[in-house]
Amino acid sequence: MLRALIFDFDGVIVDSEPVIMELTRQMATREGWSLSKEEYYRDYLALDDRRIVERLFYTHGRPIDVTRRDALLEWKAAAYRQAIRDGLRPLPGAAEFVKRCRVAGYPLAIASGSLREEVEWLLKKLRLREHFSVLATAEDAEYSKPHPGIYLTALAQLGRLSEFGRHPLHAAECVAVEDAPAGVDAAHAAGIKCVALAHSRPPVELGQADWVFSDFDKLNLAALAASC
């Protein structure tokens, strides 16, 4: 029985991955490193900013310089705030699907490696903030996806909602919506079934998901609930 949905954010709700990818490439260039578009989407998708920078150090054969790492994180955060100051577009069908979920009565959560202020800002610009009861973000998890921590946090916060006071929420009663293989693995590691949308990676790379769709237009909420 489906009782709640948990959404990844970047590349699922909002069309932010191209912006994040370009800023990551610029950040790498500041250190004299190269990072191709394919490398980003293959190896860095679903990582939070700190893990992205640390992976850049590792893959370029340098020990992590904490001072320099933190400086790069500050640069990227400032550059991203500037890039999203006017908001970003939702992915096609995302806003409509979120609203259908709420009309159907499902509590919703975000489980994202982005910073809370970034997620809050973009949801407000999209007029979707009110639909999410829970935001689990980079500040809430020690490890990036594919570690299940961010999903376990979202699940625990959902479980404290009044809707689940008499009948506790279980992982098997939730569905995650993801766009990255590491995100699918994180959801599964938390015991949560997962829909994968081929927004960022081809369907063949998302085959471990329970369901794979090209986009939200192909995702039928009633059929999804009936199959849980």
pLDDT tier for residue 174 given thresholds of 50, 70 and 90 = very high
Look at residue 113 and give its three-state secondary structure: coil
Fold classified for 17-83: DNA polymerase; domain 1 (1.10.150)
Q: Is the dihedral of CA 60, 140, 170, 194 positive or negative?
A: negative
pLDDT of residue 141 exceeding 90, the answer is no
Q: Looking up tokens 């590792």, which residue turns up?
A: 58
Tokens, residue 110: 């975000």
Residue limits of CATH 3.40.50.1000 in the chain: 4-15+88-227
Look at residue 226 and give its three-state secondary structure: helix
pLDDT tier for residue 161 given thresholds of 50, 70 and 90 = very high
> What are the φ/ψ torsions at residue 197 (nearest 5 degrees)?
-105, 130
Tell me how far apart the alpha carbons of residues 38 and 1 are, in angstroms, rounded to a whole number: 38
pLDDT on residue 72: 96
Over the stretch 15-61, which tens digit does the pLDDT of each residue have? Answer: 999 999 999 999 999 999 999 999 999 999 989 999 999 999 999 99
pLDDT on residue 149: 97
Strands (E), the chain: 4-7, 108-111, 134-136, 174-178, 193-197, 211-213
Look at residue 120 and give its three-state secondary structure: helix
Q: Looking up tokens 């059929």, which residue turns up?
A: 223
Residue limits of CATH 1.10.150.240 in the chain: 17-83
pLDDT on residue 221: 96
Single-letter residue type at 62: R
Among 40, 89, 93, 65, residue whose Cα is nearest residue 200? 40
> What are the φ/ψ torsions at residue 127 (nearest 5 degrees)?
60, 40
Superfamily of domain 4-15+88-227: HAD superfamily/HAD-like (3.40.50.1000)
- Please tell me the pTM assigned to this model: 0.95
